[in-house]
Amino acid sequence: MSANAHPGPPTQIVWDESMLAYNFGTDHPMNPARLDLTARLAGEFGLFDRPNVAVVPPRTATDAELETVHEAGYIAAVRRVSAQPDVPDEERGLGTEDDPAFAGMHEASARLAGASLQAAEAILAGTALHAVNFGGGLHHAARDRASGFCIYNDCALAVRHLLDHGVERVLYLDVDAHHGDGTQNIFWDDPRVLTISLHETGRYLFPGTGYADETGGPGAPGSAVNVALPPYTGDAAWMRAFHAVVPQITRAFKPEVIVSQHGCDGHARDMLTSLRLSVDAQRQMMLDVAGLAREVAGGRWLATGGGGYDVYNVVPRSWTHLLAIASGEPIPLTARVPAAWLRYLRERYGQDGPPGMGDGAELWWRSWEVGYDPNDGVDRAVMATRKAVFPHYGLDPWFD
């Protein structure tokens, strides 16, 4: 923090190297190097030393805590496979290509889950206004099975903990390139939770869900909001979609806390998706979420990581921006990547890193108020979502 700057909001970051134990193997896309490199880049920028920041180690979630969103039989299955990784349980998604079994799987997964619970506890206690678990964001895990690199759903656990301790309305906002299906389904019929997911359409991308007509269960109509965007959407159209849906619904719902998942796998360099976004756009979304939290939730904001598989170039920059924004002083896109971090990247991983903290993108997008273009695939996706959910909030799909 610069010498003349005022301290930012009280911020808790849950991190230590024990979180690197969530490791599916060297050939798996979910490489724990992405957490190591994020923490080291954040450290080089002095983010952990900001006077308003508390860095705390994660605790391991108990089985009782995990059972608030997962079936007891599933947790027992994770424990069995964790102890005997050569005996998979593929029916529950354990020991599959996406979620390979490994010794200590339960403990490593419960530790990431506990980190998000700690973030929620800090917000509830008022010791933090913002809290970040960049090792979390495991949004595909279902009540009864693993899915998509995710064993326990830390996002859902954090939301449930907030609800169980007096919060009446929680917004869960997911900007990962993949649909936040696990979290949506866990709260499908709970009107206290609004889930919003912007993602690449399931017509082409795992998990194949997240269409505009998925709007919540019979007891919570309009509680699920999905914007399913076409491949090669790009920055301008992505930001247009975000601003055509998220602020309006958020203001109407009036959440008391925002929980956001910041998977950065929509980046143009990511090998698993095709949205073609920049770090610049990802950073802008973080700023927008922080602004919405200030506007509607008294500043209360819990942020997690998520997907992101360019582990050397994209993930550390994107999540370092997240940590800087959450702790109150963004890092400029024009900032240079510290030389010490680049040396570490070369010496430890044999990789060359990016020179700067931005991609040099031109961040401009057309406001929805400019008008709807029925010939544009992104506009059609946005309008489908607005027609499906805006009336539940007294909003006009065409004009609000």
Q: Are 216 and 224 in contact (CB under 8 A)?
A: yes
Residue 26 CA to residue 255 CA, distance in Å, equals 40
Give the active site residue among 70, 106, 130, 140. Answer: 140
Q: Which two tokens stand for residue 346?
A: 């070369």
Q: What is the DSSP pairing of strand 193-200 with strand 170-174?
A: parallel
Residue 11 CA to residue 9 CA, distance in Å, equals 6
| Active-site residue flag, 161 | no
Active site residues: 140
